[in-house]
Amino acid sequence: MEEPRKRARPGRSPAPAGRTARPRQAEVARLAGVSQATVSLVLADKREGPAISEETRQKVLEAARSLGYVPDPAARRLAAARNNLLGVFSFTATFPTDVQHSYYPFLVGVEREAAERGYDLVLFTGSSTGGAGAAGPEALSRVRLADGCLFLGRHAPVQELGRLVTDGFPVVHLGRRDDPEGLHWVGADYVSAAHEVVDHLAALGHRRMVLIREDDEAPASTDREHGFLKGLETAGLHGGPETVFRSADPARDLTPERLRGWLADGVTAFVAEETDTGAAWRALLRAVADAGLDCPRDASLALLGSPPADLADGPEPTGFDIPRTRLGAAAVRMLAALVAGEEATEPLVACAFRPGATSGPPPAVHGH
Protein backbone atom coordinates (compact mmCIF):
# COMPACT_ATOMS: atom_id res chain seq x y z
CA MET A 1 0.00 0.00 0.00
CA GLU A 2 1.24 3.44 -0.84
CA GLU A 3 2.58 5.31 2.17
CA PRO A 4 0.50 8.42 2.93
CA ARG A 5 2.07 11.64 1.78
CA LYS A 6 3.20 14.03 4.53
CA ARG A 7 1.24 17.24 4.51
CA ALA A 8 3.10 20.54 4.45
CA ARG A 9 2.53 22.98 7.25
CA PRO A 10 -0.16 25.57 6.44
CA GLY A 11 1.15 28.52 4.54
CA ARG A 12 4.57 26.95 4.01
CA SER A 13 5.84 25.51 0.76
CA PRO A 14 7.82 22.28 0.81
CA ALA A 15 11.55 22.88 0.60
CA PRO A 16 12.89 22.47 -2.95
CA ALA A 17 15.38 19.67 -3.48
CA GLY A 18 18.89 20.66 -2.49
CA ARG A 19 17.68 23.42 -0.14
CA THR A 20 17.18 23.25 3.61
CA ALA A 21 13.72 23.96 5.01
CA ARG A 22 14.73 27.38 6.29
CA PRO A 23 11.70 29.66 5.84
CA ARG A 24 11.97 32.70 3.61
CA GLN A 25 10.35 36.12 3.67
CA ALA A 26 8.08 35.07 0.80
CA GLU A 27 6.63 32.32 3.00
CA VAL A 28 6.12 34.75 5.86
CA ALA A 29 4.32 37.07 3.44
CA ARG A 30 1.97 34.30 2.25
CA LEU A 31 1.09 33.25 5.78
CA ALA A 32 0.51 36.84 6.90
CA GLY A 33 -1.40 37.73 3.72
CA VAL A 34 0.79 40.72 2.90
CA SER A 35 3.42 41.60 0.33
CA GLN A 36 7.05 40.56 0.72
CA ALA A 37 8.01 44.24 0.71
CA THR A 38 5.85 44.76 3.80
CA VAL A 39 7.50 41.79 5.50
CA SER A 40 10.94 43.20 4.73
CA LEU A 41 10.03 46.59 6.23
CA VAL A 42 8.51 45.05 9.37
CA LEU A 43 11.33 42.58 10.03
CA ALA A 44 13.94 45.28 9.47
CA ASP A 45 11.96 47.52 11.86
CA LYS A 46 12.03 50.34 9.32
CA ARG A 47 9.65 53.11 10.28
CA GLU A 48 10.29 55.29 7.25
CA GLY A 49 8.46 54.77 3.96
CA PRO A 50 4.81 53.61 3.61
CA ALA A 51 2.86 53.59 6.87
CA ILE A 52 2.23 50.10 8.23
CA SER A 53 -0.57 49.62 10.72
CA GLU A 54 0.17 48.03 14.06
CA GLU A 55 -2.25 45.23 13.20
CA THR A 56 -0.32 44.37 10.02
CA ARG A 57 2.97 44.60 11.86
CA GLN A 58 1.77 42.11 14.48
CA LYS A 59 0.46 39.72 11.79
CA VAL A 60 3.88 39.68 10.13
CA LEU A 61 5.71 39.15 13.42
CA GLU A 62 3.35 36.32 14.41
CA ALA A 63 3.78 34.63 11.02
CA ALA A 64 7.58 34.89 11.34
CA ARG A 65 7.46 33.39 14.82
CA SER A 66 5.20 30.52 13.78
CA LEU A 67 7.45 29.63 10.86
CA GLY A 68 10.62 29.95 12.89
CA TYR A 69 11.92 32.61 10.52
CA VAL A 70 15.46 33.83 11.29
CA PRO A 71 16.94 36.67 9.20
CA ASP A 72 19.88 35.69 7.02
CA PRO A 73 22.84 37.68 8.45
CA ALA A 74 24.68 37.67 5.14
CA ALA A 75 21.67 39.09 3.32
CA ARG A 76 21.16 41.76 5.97
CA ARG A 77 24.79 42.80 5.71
CA LEU A 78 24.62 42.99 1.92
CA ALA A 79 21.47 45.08 2.13
CA ALA A 80 23.23 47.47 4.47
CA ALA A 81 26.38 47.45 2.28
CA ARG A 82 28.30 46.42 5.39
CA ASN A 83 29.80 43.20 6.68
CA ASN A 84 30.15 44.09 10.37
CA LEU A 85 33.82 43.24 9.95
CA LEU A 86 36.79 45.35 10.99
CA GLY A 87 40.20 44.58 9.53
CA VAL A 88 43.48 44.60 11.44
CA PHE A 89 46.65 44.88 9.38
CA SER A 90 50.15 44.78 10.85
CA PHE A 91 53.38 45.91 9.21
CA THR A 92 55.56 44.08 11.72
CA ALA A 93 57.82 41.30 10.43
CA THR A 94 55.64 38.67 12.10
CA PHE A 95 52.05 39.28 13.04
CA PRO A 96 51.99 39.76 16.84
CA THR A 97 50.10 36.87 18.40
CA ASP A 98 52.63 36.01 21.13
CA VAL A 99 51.46 37.37 24.50
CA GLN A 100 55.00 38.67 25.10
CA HIS A 101 55.03 40.67 21.87
CA SER A 102 54.80 44.42 22.44
CA TYR A 103 51.80 44.62 20.09
CA TYR A 104 49.77 41.95 21.86
CA PRO A 105 48.14 44.35 24.38
CA PHE A 106 47.03 46.52 21.45
CA LEU A 107 45.20 43.52 20.03
CA VAL A 108 43.58 42.77 23.38
CA GLY A 109 42.09 46.26 23.42
CA VAL A 110 41.06 45.96 19.77
CA GLU A 111 39.30 42.63 20.32
CA ARG A 112 37.45 43.72 23.45
CA GLU A 113 36.18 46.97 21.97
CA ALA A 114 35.19 45.32 18.67
CA ALA A 115 33.20 42.65 20.52
CA GLU A 116 31.53 45.34 22.64
CA ARG A 117 30.40 47.09 19.46
CA GLY A 118 29.22 43.96 17.68
CA TYR A 119 32.04 43.68 15.14
CA ASP A 120 34.03 40.63 14.11
CA LEU A 121 37.72 41.01 13.28
CA VAL A 122 39.64 39.97 10.18
CA LEU A 123 43.41 39.74 10.59
CA PHE A 124 45.33 40.50 7.39
CA THR A 125 48.77 38.95 7.70
CA GLY A 126 50.10 38.44 4.15
CA SER A 127 52.07 41.67 3.84
CA SER A 128 53.55 41.41 7.32
CA THR A 129 54.93 37.93 6.67
CA GLY A 130 56.08 38.40 3.09
CA GLY A 131 53.22 36.36 1.68
CA ALA A 132 51.45 36.77 -1.62
CA GLY A 133 50.75 40.40 -2.40
CA ALA A 134 53.25 41.68 0.14
CA ALA A 135 54.38 44.44 -2.21
CA GLY A 136 53.09 46.41 -5.14
CA PRO A 137 50.38 49.01 -5.69
CA GLU A 138 47.53 46.67 -4.68
CA ALA A 139 49.14 45.24 -1.54
CA LEU A 140 46.43 46.70 0.70
CA SER A 141 43.47 46.23 -1.62
CA ARG A 142 42.20 43.09 0.11
CA VAL A 143 41.46 45.02 3.32
CA ARG A 144 38.36 46.29 1.49
CA LEU A 145 36.74 42.98 2.38
CA ALA A 146 36.11 44.58 5.76
CA ASP A 147 34.03 47.68 6.50
CA GLY A 148 37.16 49.50 7.61
CA CYS A 149 40.71 48.66 8.66
CA LEU A 150 43.04 49.38 11.54
CA PHE A 151 46.77 49.51 10.73
CA LEU A 152 49.66 48.88 13.13
CA GLY A 153 53.35 49.46 12.56
CA ARG A 154 55.98 52.20 12.39
CA HIS A 155 56.62 52.02 8.65
CA ALA A 156 53.49 51.85 6.49
CA PRO A 157 53.29 52.49 2.71
CA VAL A 158 52.11 56.09 2.45
CA GLN A 159 50.96 55.87 -1.16
CA GLU A 160 48.78 52.83 -0.63
CA LEU A 161 47.26 54.19 2.56
CA GLY A 162 46.63 57.45 0.73
CA ARG A 163 44.70 55.59 -1.96
CA LEU A 164 42.39 54.07 0.65
CA VAL A 165 41.85 57.48 2.28
CA THR A 166 41.14 59.15 -1.08
CA ASP A 167 38.59 56.45 -1.91
CA GLY A 168 36.78 57.14 1.34
CA PHE A 169 37.55 53.73 2.82
CA PRO A 170 37.53 53.96 6.65
CA VAL A 171 41.13 53.70 7.85
CA VAL A 172 42.70 54.31 11.26
CA HIS A 173 46.40 54.06 12.04
CA LEU A 174 47.38 53.07 15.55
CA GLY A 175 50.08 55.63 16.28
CA ARG A 176 50.52 59.19 15.08
CA ARG A 177 51.05 59.68 11.35
CA ASP A 178 51.32 62.99 9.52
CA ASP A 179 50.84 61.42 6.11
CA PRO A 180 48.94 60.67 4.03
CA GLU A 181 46.81 63.76 4.45
CA GLY A 182 43.40 62.96 5.87
CA LEU A 183 44.44 59.72 7.59
CA HIS A 184 42.84 59.26 11.00
CA TRP A 185 45.05 58.01 13.83
CA VAL A 186 45.10 57.47 17.57
CA GLY A 187 48.23 57.78 19.64
CA ALA A 188 49.88 58.13 23.01
CA ASP A 189 51.12 61.46 24.33
CA TYR A 190 54.83 60.68 23.93
CA VAL A 191 55.80 64.36 24.11
CA SER A 192 54.46 64.84 27.63
CA ALA A 193 55.71 61.42 28.75
CA ALA A 194 59.28 62.04 27.55
CA HIS A 195 59.18 65.50 29.12
CA GLU A 196 58.23 63.92 32.47
CA VAL A 197 61.18 61.52 32.30
CA VAL A 198 63.59 64.42 31.76
CA ASP A 199 61.94 66.30 34.63
CA HIS A 200 62.62 63.31 36.87
CA LEU A 201 66.28 63.08 35.87
CA ALA A 202 66.76 66.83 36.26
CA ALA A 203 65.22 66.70 39.74
CA LEU A 204 67.80 64.04 40.67
CA GLY A 205 70.55 66.50 39.72
CA HIS A 206 71.47 65.45 36.17
CA ARG A 207 72.59 68.41 34.04
CA ARG A 208 73.83 66.60 30.91
CA MET A 209 71.77 63.93 29.15
CA VAL A 210 71.89 62.17 25.79
CA LEU A 211 68.94 60.67 23.90
CA ILE A 212 69.72 57.53 21.88
CA ARG A 213 67.31 56.80 19.03
CA GLU A 214 67.08 55.04 15.69
CA ASP A 215 67.74 57.05 12.54
CA ASP A 216 64.29 57.35 10.97
CA GLU A 217 61.43 59.81 10.82
CA ALA A 218 58.75 57.67 12.46
CA PRO A 219 56.35 60.08 14.23
CA ALA A 220 56.63 58.12 17.49
CA SER A 221 60.39 58.72 17.47
CA THR A 222 60.14 62.41 16.61
CA ASP A 223 57.51 62.90 19.34
CA ARG A 224 59.82 61.33 21.93
CA GLU A 225 62.71 63.49 20.78
CA HIS A 226 60.55 66.60 20.90
CA GLY A 227 59.47 65.81 24.46
CA PHE A 228 63.07 65.11 25.48
CA LEU A 229 64.34 68.43 24.09
CA LYS A 230 61.36 70.30 25.53
CA GLY A 231 62.13 68.80 28.92
CA LEU A 232 65.74 69.98 28.73
CA GLU A 233 64.59 73.48 27.79
CA THR A 234 62.08 73.62 30.65
CA ALA A 235 64.79 72.53 33.10
CA GLY A 236 67.17 75.19 31.77
CA LEU A 237 69.58 72.55 30.43
CA HIS A 238 71.58 72.53 27.21
CA GLY A 239 69.73 70.91 24.33
CA GLY A 240 72.02 71.21 21.32
CA PRO A 241 72.43 68.65 18.51
CA GLU A 242 74.97 66.68 20.54
CA THR A 243 72.25 65.77 23.04
CA VAL A 244 70.59 63.45 20.49
CA PHE A 245 72.45 60.44 19.09
CA ARG A 246 70.79 58.97 15.98
CA SER A 247 71.93 55.71 14.44
CA ALA A 248 70.60 53.34 11.80
CA ASP A 249 72.45 50.57 13.63
CA PRO A 250 72.77 51.34 17.37
CA ALA A 251 74.29 47.92 18.07
CA ARG A 252 77.23 48.84 15.82
CA ASP A 253 77.59 52.54 16.55
CA LEU A 254 76.96 52.74 20.30
CA THR A 255 80.31 51.45 21.55
CA PRO A 256 81.77 51.36 25.08
CA GLU A 257 84.37 53.89 23.91
CA ARG A 258 81.67 56.33 22.80
CA LEU A 259 79.90 55.87 26.12
CA ARG A 260 83.08 56.57 28.10
CA GLY A 261 83.67 59.66 25.95
CA TRP A 262 80.27 61.06 26.87
CA LEU A 263 80.89 60.37 30.55
CA ALA A 264 84.24 62.18 30.31
CA ASP A 265 82.41 65.19 28.83
CA GLY A 266 80.04 65.34 31.78
CA VAL A 267 77.05 63.33 30.57
CA THR A 268 75.49 61.50 33.50
CA ALA A 269 72.18 60.17 32.11
CA PHE A 270 71.31 58.24 28.96
CA VAL A 271 67.78 58.01 27.60
CA ALA A 272 66.77 55.50 24.89
CA GLU A 273 63.61 55.30 22.83
CA GLU A 274 61.42 52.22 22.61
CA THR A 275 60.78 50.80 19.13
CA ASP A 276 59.44 47.54 17.70
CA THR A 277 62.93 46.06 17.87
CA GLY A 278 64.16 47.73 21.05
CA ALA A 279 67.44 48.34 19.21
CA ALA A 280 68.41 51.54 21.03
CA TRP A 281 67.77 50.13 24.52
CA ARG A 282 69.53 46.85 23.73
CA ALA A 283 72.56 48.71 22.40
CA LEU A 284 72.69 50.98 25.44
CA LEU A 285 72.54 48.08 27.90
CA ARG A 286 75.24 46.22 25.99
CA ALA A 287 77.55 49.25 25.87
CA VAL A 288 77.05 49.88 29.59
CA ALA A 289 77.91 46.26 30.41
CA ASP A 290 80.94 46.21 28.07
CA ALA A 291 82.21 49.46 29.59
CA GLY A 292 82.01 47.91 33.05
CA LEU A 293 79.67 50.59 34.37
CA ASP A 294 77.33 50.20 37.32
CA CYS A 295 73.91 51.80 36.96
CA PRO A 296 72.70 53.95 38.48
CA ARG A 297 75.92 54.54 40.45
CA ASP A 298 78.10 55.50 37.45
CA ALA A 299 75.33 56.69 35.12
CA SER A 300 71.54 56.76 35.07
CA LEU A 301 69.49 55.12 32.35
CA ALA A 302 65.92 55.74 31.21
CA LEU A 303 63.69 54.17 28.56
CA LEU A 304 60.96 56.09 26.75
CA GLY A 305 58.56 53.15 26.80
CA SER A 306 58.70 49.58 28.05
CA PRO A 307 61.56 47.08 27.67
CA PRO A 308 61.34 44.17 25.20
CA ALA A 309 59.82 41.03 26.70
CA ASP A 310 63.15 39.18 26.65
CA LEU A 311 64.72 41.94 28.78
CA ALA A 312 61.85 42.29 31.23
CA ASP A 313 63.65 40.22 33.90
CA GLY A 314 66.32 42.87 34.40
CA PRO A 315 66.06 45.92 36.67
CA GLU A 316 62.91 47.89 35.90
CA PRO A 317 63.99 50.89 33.83
CA THR A 318 63.01 54.43 34.66
CA GLY A 319 60.60 55.63 31.97
CA PHE A 320 56.93 55.30 31.15
CA ASP A 321 54.39 52.65 30.24
CA ILE A 322 52.42 52.92 27.01
CA PRO A 323 48.67 52.27 27.54
CA ARG A 324 48.52 49.78 24.67
CA THR A 325 45.19 48.16 25.56
CA ARG A 326 43.51 51.56 25.88
CA LEU A 327 45.01 52.67 22.58
CA GLY A 328 43.67 49.57 20.82
CA ALA A 329 40.19 50.26 22.18
CA ALA A 330 40.39 53.93 21.17
CA ALA A 331 41.40 52.94 17.63
CA VAL A 332 38.35 50.68 17.30
CA ARG A 333 36.04 53.42 18.61
CA MET A 334 37.39 55.80 15.98
CA LEU A 335 37.15 53.20 13.20
CA ALA A 336 33.58 52.29 14.16
CA ALA A 337 32.64 55.97 14.03
CA LEU A 338 34.14 56.32 10.55
CA VAL A 339 32.30 53.21 9.34
CA ALA A 340 29.05 54.70 10.66
CA GLY A 341 29.76 57.99 8.88
CA GLU A 342 30.11 59.88 12.15
CA GLU A 343 32.67 62.42 13.30
CA ALA A 344 35.73 60.54 14.56
CA THR A 345 37.95 62.10 17.22
CA GLU A 346 39.97 60.55 20.04
CA PRO A 347 42.24 62.45 22.43
CA LEU A 348 45.87 61.50 22.91
CA VAL A 349 46.17 58.82 25.58
CA ALA A 350 48.43 59.68 28.52
CA CYS A 351 51.34 57.39 29.42
CA ALA A 352 52.05 56.42 33.04
CA PHE A 353 55.42 57.50 34.47
CA ARG A 354 57.54 54.63 35.86
CA PRO A 355 60.20 55.57 38.49
CA GLY A 356 62.10 52.32 37.91
CA ALA A 357 65.45 51.31 39.38
CA THR A 358 67.93 52.51 36.74
CA SER A 359 68.16 56.17 37.72
CA GLY A 360 69.62 57.95 40.71
CA PRO A 361 71.67 61.04 41.56
CA PRO A 362 74.65 61.70 39.26
CA PRO A 363 78.13 60.55 40.37
CA ALA A 364 79.16 64.03 41.52
CA VAL A 365 76.34 64.00 44.07
CA HIS A 366 77.62 60.67 45.36
CA GLY A 367 81.01 62.32 45.94
CA HIS A 368 82.81 60.48 43.10
Q: How much is the mean pLDDT over the chain?
A: 83
Q: What CATH number corresponds to the domain at position 244?
A: 3.40.50.2300
Taking phi first (over 0 means left), then psi (-120 to 50 degrees means alpha), and beta for anything else, what does residue 186 get? beta
Condensed to tens digits (0 to 9), the pLDDT of residues 248-267 reads 999 999 999 999 999 999 99
Task: Say if 362 falls within a structural domain.
Answer: no
Measured in degrees and rounded to the nearest 5, phi and psi for residue 313 equal -80, -10
Q: Select the highest-mean-pLDDT range: 150-159, 226-235, 276-285.
A: 226-235
DSSP characters over 236-304: T----GGGEEEES-HHHH--HHHHHHHHHTT--EEEEE--SS-HHHHHHHHHHHHTT--TTTT-EEEEE
Residue 1 has pLDDT above 70, yes or no: no
Q: Is the pLDDT of residue 234 over 90?
A: yes
- Over pLDDT 90: what percentage of the chain? 51
Same domain, 195 and 308: yes
What CA–CA distance (Å, rounded) separates 190 from 198?
Answer: 12
pLDDT in tens, 68-93: 776 655 444 444 456 789 999 887 65
The Cα 39–Cα 194 span in angstroms is: 60
Predicted pLDDT at 92:
67
pLDDT digits (tens, 9 = 90+) for 103-129: 788 889 999 999 999 999 998 875 544
Range of the domain at 306: 190-321
φ, ψ for residue 185 (rounded to 5)? Answer: -150, 160
pLDDT tens profile 327-351? 999 999 999 999 988 888 888 999 9
SS3 state at 85 = strand
Helical packing angle, 190-204 and 219-234, nearest 10°: 40
Characterize the bridge pairing of strands 85-90 and 209-214: unpaired
| Residue 141 DSSP label | G
Of 343, 260, 342, 242, nearest to 299 by C-alpha is: 260
Residues 234 and 310 grouped into a single domain: yes
Number of helices followed by number of strands (H, E) in the chain:
14, 11
Q: Are 110 and 116 in contact (CB under 8 A)?
A: no
- Buried b / exposed e over 82-111, threshold 16 CB at 10 Å, is ebbbbbbbbbbeebbeeeebbbbbbbebbb
Q: Does residue 309 fall inside a structural domain? A: yes
Q: Which of 71, 96, 118 is the last residue of a domain?
A: 71
Q: 151-165, 176-190, 209-223 — which is least confidently predicted?
A: 151-165
Same domain as 194, residue 181: no
Number of domains in the chain: 3
